[in-house]
């Protein structure tokens, strides 16, 4: 982060913290953020401790920051408010220049609480679970230099064998992320669905599909030279031939708080430059 960006971050965090303190609210900064922004005047806590004691978490940054915080707070009921300091801001929908007014509205009860579904994933190797994690956006199985061959079953029913650069398994939230770039459909966040989007399939008739979120999806790595599995693009597992990736909807959800006049279609139109 360059000097001007750091100064901007310091100013925004300071303005927000001071504004909340004047409302007699207790404010904590996440300890790594406070250290990076060189803000020492406010009490700090780890992200896990914030999840245990806070009524709401305000996330300032881009969608990547929101994904990271959301995954860390999965086991709590803390709702998230996102202030956009990134590029698109599909998840961090408040503009920094409007944040004080909009947060006041939310604190006054003028908000929409929107639950977002999560995916839970297990990587099974030789009958043993070697990795398990959650994703708010997507699970991505991706090859290295050459095509990867995958076998897909849904609810124990064979769907296809596919040769491609990989496969994206996405929540409705994640359909405006990597899945959109790969030609997948946009699913409204209130849909109970999981999309499967092939990445550059060898057979052009392999198209994206969406299935009910209650489905159990099993993807077996049949053949590859090199492959990895990622969770929200932030955590990776190196795969081996024969590995089975089991994806299901998680019992937990993440709640986002929006101003009461928030409209998903307005957001899409603004972010994607629709007419």
User: Are 96 and 211 contained in the same domain?
Assistant: no
∠ CA(171), CA(162), CA(172), 5° rounding? 10
* pLDDT at site 2: 61
Least confident of 1-10, 140-149, 160-169, 203-212: 1-10
User: Are 95 and 163 contained in the same domain?
Assistant: no
* pLDDT at site 103: 96
What are 87-139's pLDDT values in tens digits?
Answer: 778 999 899 899 999 999 999 999 999 999 999 999 999 999 999 999 999 99
Which CATH number belongs to the domain containing residue 82 in this structure?
3.40.50.10330
Per-residue confidence at 36, pLDDT binned at 50, 70, 90? Answer: confident
Assess whether 55 carries a catalytic annotation. no
Per-residue confidence at 3, pLDDT binned at 50, 70, 90? Answer: low
d(CA 216, CA 190): 19
* pLDDT at site 5: 67
User: Are 86 and 151 contained in the same domain?
Assistant: no
* pLDDT at site 187: 97
What are 171-228's pLDDT values in tens digits?
Answer: 999 999 999 999 999 999 999 999 999 999 998 888 999 999 999 999 999 988 889 9
User: Are 8 and 61 contained in the same domain?
Assistant: yes
d(CA 121, CA 142): 15
What are 229-239's pLDDT values in tens digits?
Answer: 999 998 899 99
β-bridge partners, 95: 84
Active-site residue among 12, 49, 55, 63?
A: 63
pLDDT score of 41 more than 80: yes
d(CA 53, CA 36): 23
Per-residue confidence at 1, pLDDT binned at 50, 70, 90? Answer: low
User: Are 126 and 236 contained in the same domain?
Assistant: yes
* pLDDT at site 28: 95
The DSSP bridge pattern shows strands 111-125 and 244-259 to be: antiparallel
**Interval 72-89 mean pLDDT:** 89
Q: Is 8 exposed, middle or buried (0-12, 13-18, 19+ CB in 10 A)?
A: middle
Q: What is the 3-state secondary structure (H, E, C) of the chain?
A: CCHHHHHHHHHHHHHHHHHHHHCCCCCCEEHHHHHHCCCCCCCEECHHHHHHHCCCEEEEECHHHHHHHHHHCCCCCCCEEEEECCCCCCCCCEEHHHHHHHHHHHHCCCEEEEEEEEEEEEEEECCEEEEEEEECCEEEEEECCCCEEEEEEECCEEEEEEEECEEEEECCHHHHCHHHHCCCCCCCCCCCEEEEEEECCCCCCCCCEEEECCCCEEEEEEECCCEEEEECCCEEEECCCCCEEEEEEEEEEEEEEEECCCCHHHHHHHHCCCC
User: Are 36 and 130 contained in the same domain?
Assistant: no
User: Are 137 and 247 contained in the same domain?
Assistant: yes
Number of domains the chain contains: 2
Domain that holds residue 131: 119-251
Which CATH number belongs to the domain containing residue 167 in this structure?
2.60.200.30
Pair of tokens at residue 215: 């489905």
Average pLDDT score, the chain: 93
Q: Is 187 exposed, middle or buried (0-12, 13-18, 19+ CB in 10 A)?
A: buried
User: Are 152 and 245 contained in the same domain?
Assistant: yes
User: Are 174 and 60 contained in the same domain?
Assistant: no
User: Are 211 and 134 contained in the same domain?
Assistant: yes
Under 8 Å CB-to-CB from 26, ≥6 apart: which residues?
none
pLDDT score of 72 more than 80: yes
User: Are 139 and 223 contained in the same domain?
Assistant: yes
The model's pTM is 0.92
User: Are 149 and 245 contained in the same domain?
Assistant: yes
């Amino acid at each position: 982060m360059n000097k001007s960006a750091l100064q901007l971050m310091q100013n925004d965090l300071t303005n927000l913290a001071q504004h909340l303190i004047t409302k007699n609210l207790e404010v904590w900064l996440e300890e790594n953020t406070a250290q990076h922004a060189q803000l020492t005047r406010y009490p700090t806590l780890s992200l896990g401790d914030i999840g245990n004691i806070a009524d709401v978490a305000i996330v300032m940054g881009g969608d990547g920051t929101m994904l990271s915080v959301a995954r860390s707070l999965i086991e709590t009921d803390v709702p998230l408010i996102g202030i956009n300091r990134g590029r698109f801001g599909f998840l961090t929908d408040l503009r920094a220049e409007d944040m004080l007014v909009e947060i006041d509205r939310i604190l006054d009860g003028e908000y929409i609480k929107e639950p977002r579904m999560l995916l839970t994933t297990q990587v099974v190797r030789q009958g043993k679970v070697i990795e398990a994690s959650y994703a708010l956006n997507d699970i991505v199985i991706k090859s290295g230099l050459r095509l990867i061959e995958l076998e897909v079953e849904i609810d124990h029913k064979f769907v296809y064998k596919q040769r491609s650069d990989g496969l994206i398994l996405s929540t409705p939230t994640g359909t405006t992320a990597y899945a959109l770039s790969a030609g997948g459909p946009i699913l409204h966040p209130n849909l109970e669905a999981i999309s499967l989007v092939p990445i550059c399939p060898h057979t052009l008739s392999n198209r994206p599909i969406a299935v009910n979120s209650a489905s159990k999806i099993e993807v077996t790595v049949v053949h590859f030279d090199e492959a990895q599995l990622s969770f929200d693009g932030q955590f990776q597992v190196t795969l081996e031939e024969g590995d089975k990736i089991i994806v299901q909807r998680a019992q937990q959800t993440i709640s986002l708080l929006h101003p009461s006049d928030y409209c998903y279609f307005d957001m899409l139109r603004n972010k994607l430059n629709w007419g």
